[in-house]
Amino acid sequence: MKRVFGARGAAAAVVVVAGGAAAIVGVGVFGAHGAAPRTGPLSVHAGLKKPPGAVVRGTTLVDEKGARSELGASVSGSMMGPLAPVAVRSTDGKLIAYNTWQELRPVDADKSFSAQGIEKGAALGVPSLRIHDDQGQDFLLARGAYSAAWRHDGAIAFVQGVDPVFRASAAYDGQVVVRRGVHGRDVTWMSARAHYVVYAWAGDRLLFYRIGLGEKTELLVADAPGKIRSLAEGTAIAVSPDAARVAILSEDATSVRVLDIASGREQSWIDVTIATPALRWVAYSGSWVGDHIVAPASAGLAVFQVGPGSLTLEQVLSLDQAQFPPGVQEPRFVDNAGNEIAASADVPPANGNNGVSFLLQCDRVVRTCERTDAAPAKEWLRQVDDTATEEGGQW
Amino acid sequence: MNVRGAIAGVLAVTALAIPANASAYRTWFEFTRQSNISSPLTIATDYGGGYISTQTWRAGSGTSTDACWVSHGWLPTGWYDLWGHWDYYDGTIKGRVFYLSNKPCWNGTWRSALFIHSEETAAQGQYCPTAYDDPYCWEGAGDYYSNGCIKVSRAGNPSDLRLVHGGWHSRSGDYRHGSFGIGNFLYVRDY
């Protein structure tokens, strides 16, 4: 990987300098506290009793008012990790689609398949999508399916496995389908069988990943059933609130581009390794509110400012690496001003302790966070994604 | 059947006829997770009588240290089977590759289609057309980063990739290529 200041690098440097100057003269966003967000460490404290918005954990849904209800099955993002939300709320707010995993036989992750007598092709589990409505009803949407995204009109896109059973074999091939309402029929939008993850709707366009060898990711856009085009190699950070643009992360996780989804044209670009402060990497699945984007980053969180034809790194919020070694995932702005950020933080197993998850709520102006108590990582403590009700999924 | 088809058929039969483990020395790899761009990859051969011979190279995996982060984190700990080995693989990953079995990480997320490989062309060459990061060109330490695969250097002569590849064949006595299975081929541990 060469670090060469080409024309793009020089342009990015100019943009970064310009962005810094803008912050100095006070053109940046000011929080409710009257101060401009500044780069620095986040101070994390226990005590978050009620995360913003609805959350899921195991078989429990806690809505935005704190009311608990029982899900029909335990939530699990085992088929896609943070590439897509574990649970997503419909545009009208009444339905939550969530991912589950039915284990057909236990797998000891420390042992190889062969040592457990698991032959190639053996059935291991079944991913499914379920729906939980605001009346407490819970039902199966699709068996052998995962990664859902709601369209503004109530249609839901997801990956339907060719064979519903996940096996000890190569890829879990599927097709991308769209169901017009939870009781409607499926229309195949991407018929070629491959390993996909549905990411999000951008208006009437569907964004989804094709996962290749070595987990190489390609972001595809479907303009209509069968009308598929490649948007970029890499992953998506967020769709703009007007659903016209998407922030794309390069395959090597070092540069971010804003693309016009309709044309695929690049509008702005930044290499975070030569930004100020420099970052080693940023990651996918962030959030976009107004002209701000937040993404996971090597230091913790990166907040970008999107201008007309420019993309600047406005703020880096660093987390204590001893407390949260791999950082945070799926950060989301939870206020319209773009000052409050909620994210999940997973801590891997260490010293005989199992992995755990926290939810954090952070104020990026005063750089403090509150965190929930730890939950077992296998219970998938996550925010319910309500992007469809407020961001790129809406007209 | 044309000539090419006939030759391919003969080669296939020959390949199947070669003993899986001609030298019968149990050989495996161990990857010790230290950092994304500098972690030791060791080949070990058990010659019996308690004598285990090893050789180690620098390797990398992932961009972050969260093994549950699909397409971003390093690979999960534990034993992996081998699902195939090719010398001239021609997918998005090319050249000399070892295909690893799938593995769930610690929160249950499945990691899949991971390999031990480097950055080279299907013909085992280097293709470096730009001043930026070319996917089939080993430019330097930054190339140890991956979406989760274990990567070794393609620089130098012999390259680490060549030594890893040659070491596997000569130590194990297993000269098979293509899709096949070997149990407990790789062990991934924390430092």
Q: Tell me the per-residue pLDDT of A73-97, one tens digit each, with 9 for 90 and over.
A: 999 999 999 999 999 999 999 999 9
Residues 42-71 of A with CB under 8 A from B: none
Range of the domain at B136: 3-190
Tell me whether A1 touches chain B (CB under 8 Å): yes
Percent of chain B with pLDDT over 70: 88
- Cross-chain Cβ contact B132/A253 below 8 Å: no
Give per-residue pLDDT as tens, A285-297: 999 999 999 999 9
- Please list every residue in chain A whose beta carbon sits closer than 8 Å to the beta carbon of residue B104: 78, 107, 109
C-beta neighbour count of A74 within 10 angstroms: 19
CB B150 within 8 A of CB B5: no
Answer yes or no: is pLDDT of A327 > 70: yes
Which phi and psi (to 5°) does residue B126 adopt?
A: -120, 135
CB B59 within 8 A of CB B144: yes
CATH code of B170's domain? 2.40.440.10
> Is the C-alpha dihedral spanning A178, A256, A218, A113 positive or negative?
negative
Answer yes or no: is pLDDT of B19 > 90: no
Whether omega for the bond prior to residue A277 falls within 30 degrees of 0, making it cis, is yes
pLDDT of residue A169: 84
Answer yes or no: is pLDDT of B80 > 90: yes
CB half-sphere exposure, A161, CA atoms < 13 A? 19
- Please list every residue in chain A whose beta carbon sits closer than 8 Å to the beta carbon of residue B183: 112, 114-115
- Cross-chain Cβ contact A1/B102 below 8 Å: no
Strands A60-62, A55-57: pairing is antiparallel
Distance from CA of B166 to the nearest CA of A (A): 22
Picking from A40-54, A215-229, B1-15, which range would have the lowest pLDDT averaged per residue?
B1-15
Tell which residue, A351, A337, A345, A352, has the closest CA to residue A369.
Answer: A345
pLDDT of residue A51: 87
Could you name the CATH architecture of A7-390?
Answer: 7 Propeller (2.130)
What are the counts of helices (DSSP H) followed by strands (DSSP E) for chain B? Answer: 2, 10
Tell which residue, B70, B43, B73, B75, has the closest CA to residue B57.
Answer: B43
Considering only the beta carbons, identify the residue of B68, B79, B91 that sits closest to A111. Answer: B79
First-to-final CA distance of chain A: 40
Distance from CA of A200 to the nearest CA of B (A): 17
Question: Looking at per-residue confidence, does A11 or B65 come out higher?
Answer: B65
pTM: 0.89
Average pLDDT over residues A99-105: 97
Strand pairing partners for A317? A40, A301
First-to-final CA distance of chain B: 54
Considering only the beta carbons, identify the residue of A111, A211, A326 that sits closest to B69. Answer: A326
Give per-residue pLDDT as tens, A143-186: 999 999 999 999 999 999 999 999 998 789 999 999 999 999 99
Tell me whether A113 touches chain B (CB under 8 Å): yes
Average pLDDT over residues B146-159: 97
pLDDT of residue A318: 97
Give per-residue pLDDT as tens, A16-66: 333 333 333 333 444 445 567 899 999 999 999 888 899 999 999 999 999
Which phi and psi (to 5°) does residue A363 adopt?
A: -105, 115
Cite the DSSP H helix spans in chain A: 7-24, 387-390
Domain tally for chain B?
A: 1
Answer yes or no: is pLDDT of B118 > 60: yes
pLDDT of residue A174: 98
Instruction: Map out the domains of chain A as residue ranges.
Output: 7-390
Residue A59 burial (C-beta neighbours within 10 Å; 0-12, 13-18, 19+) = middle
B169, containing H or E segment = helix B160-172
